[in-house]
Structure 1
Amino acid sequence: MGEGGHMPQIIELPERPYVGVRATITMTTFGVVGDRIAGIIAWLAERGHHPADAPFFRYEEIDMAADRLVVQAGVPVAVPVEGEGDLFAAVLPAGRYVTESHHGHPDQLFGVIESVLTRVEEQGLTLDMTEKDGTEHWGCRLELYRTNPLEEPDLNNWDIDLQFRLS
């Protein structure tokens, strides 16, 4: 069970403002959103803003059968910042989140996510997710990338937090 099989934590989180960009991608075209994060951070810096927390991917829709995902790349900010062009201002909703930490290659996340979803089910918890016509619509499902790739290029040393909002 991953890292000694510890239980995912449930944490209460406040609303968190961020600036993001949205794209419809496949499992193999993550770069379309991922490659935008550095640019968002630079855009914020030009306006005198610094990331308030780790940049993240926010999964809005997942249709595995069709290999179609609607994903945002976002950067949290301390105070709301107006968007520009395809960058938009939004807020991660407050609420109870199941969270799990992963140290290692992002390719290993699939197994970590599976175990979190299993634990959620075993504990009788309900995720903020609805399924319609084979597509999962997530209220707030996040992967936070805590490692700066410029400081740590080795993906095996990355720290990633998962946060899934409960309904």
Structure 2
Amino acid sequence: MPEIVELAERPYVALRGTVQLDQISAFADRMHEVIRWLVAREIAPNDAPFFKYDVVDMEAGLVLEIGFPVDDLHAGEGEIVTGVLPAGRYATVSHHGHPDGLMDATRDLLAWGEAEGVEWDADGDKWVSRLEIYLSDPREVPNMADWDTELQFKLK
């Protein structure tokens, strides 16, 4: 069952791109580029990796960032971007299972929000902060059917 939580702001480093729905896994495979960038600058992530959906437009493509929260704001370069996940109230829900199930989990969270009358911090297809937090380390949990993921969608 979703819940509403208050979260502090979180600086992050990510790779940004525009992808079609069927290209998300290929884009996710580029997470190593973010890791290499962080290692080269001796910057340690302070929490689990995430996908941040900035624009969700099924026809034109998704503007997506994959990255990690870090302790301090840094300057990006090239496709590596930096920013701050804003503080505020977020609707959250946990998903246990293969990431293929996240589309249904997202649909259910959006339907819950509509039924509860919550107002998402979004302007049409553009979201302020719509996250999938990947809590399972693939090195420790190789079976994706056993992964834990948390959705965090910012509220106005």
Please give the range of the TM-score, normalised by the shorter of the 2 chains: over 0.9
Could you tell me which amino acid in structure 1 is paired with residue 66 of structure 2?
A: A
Question: Of 84, 87, 91, which aligns to 1:91?
Answer: 84
Q: Which moved more, 1:114-123 or 1:155-164?
A: 114-123
Identity %: 44
1:29 and 1:87 mapped to 2: Cα distance? Answer: 19
Tell me the TM-score normalized by structure 1: 0.87
CA apart distance, 1:42 = 3.1
1:96 and 1:56 mapped to 2: Cα distance? Answer: 18
2:142 aligned counterpart, secondary structure: coil
Q: Which runs of 5+ in 2 are unaligned?
A: none
CA apart distance, 1:38 = 2.6
* Count of residues paired in the alignment: 156
1:31 and 1:142 mapped to 2: Cα distance? Answer: 16
Q: Which moved more, 1:26-35 or 1:100-109?
A: 26-35
Q: What's the counterpart of residue 120 of structure 2? A: 127
CA apart distance, 1:67 = 5.5
Aligned-pair Cα RMSD in Å? 1.4
2:74 aligned counterpart, secondary structure: coil
Counting only pairs closer than 5 Å after superposition, residues 80-119 of structure 1 correspond to structure 2 as 80-119=73-112
CA contact (8 A) 2:135 2:148 kept: yes
1:138 and 1:126 mapped to 2: Cα distance? Answer: 12
Q: Which runs of 5+ in 1 are unaligned?
A: 1-6
Higher-helix-fraction structure: 2
Question: Of 61, 65, 68, which aligns to 2:61?
Answer: 68
CA apart distance, 1:41 = 2.2
Deviations 1:13-34 (A, max 9, x none): 1110001111110011113431
CA contact (8 A) 1:100 1:162 kept: yes
Matched, 1:77 2:66: no
1:147 and 1:25 mapped to 2: Cα distance? Answer: 24
Could you tell me which amino acid in structure 2 is paired with residue 87 of structure 1?
A: I
Deviations 1:105-140 (A, max 9, x none): 011111111111111111111001122xxxx11111
CA apart distance, 1:47 = 2.2
Matched, 1:156 2:145: yes
